[in-house]
């Protein structure tokens, strides 16, 4: 499976920036063993950890371009 750059989206609260960065780094290291190729995700950083902020963030996702959405809670 090949996910080109920005065909996947990572949504996270700004307080979880470090976790999001580590997640992407770990995936990039493991992608060959998993049999996939990943480009960089489209990052959506939520300012506050509220459901309304996540809802606004989800509106930024282009359903015609994005194949996978990962949400860090």
Domain count for the chain:
1
The sign of the CA dihedral 18, 47, 28, 40 is: negative
What is the rounded distance in angstroms from the CA atom of residue 58 to the CA atom of residue 31? 26
What is the rounded average pLDDT of the residues 14-31?
94
Counting residues of the chain whose pLDDT is more than 70, the rounded percentage is 95
pLDDT at 8 over 80: yes
CATH number at residue 49: 3.40.50.2300
What is the rounded average pLDDT of the residues 25-38?
88
pTM (predicted TM-score): 0.87
* Pairing label, strands 37-38, 2-3: parallel
The whole domain housing 39 covers 2-71
Q: What are phi and psi of 49, to 5 degrees?
A: -90, 60
CA atoms within 13 A on the CB side of 44: 22
């Amino acid at each position: 499976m090949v996910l080109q750059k920005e065909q996947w989206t990572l949504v996270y609260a700004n307080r979880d920036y470090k976790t999001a960065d580590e997640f992407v780094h770990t995936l990039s290291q493991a992608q060959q063993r998993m049999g996939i190729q990943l480009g960089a995700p489209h990052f959506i950083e939520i300012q506050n950890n509220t459901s309304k902020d996540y809802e606004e963030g989800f509106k930024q996702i282009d359903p015609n371009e994005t194949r996978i959405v990962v949400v860090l809670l």
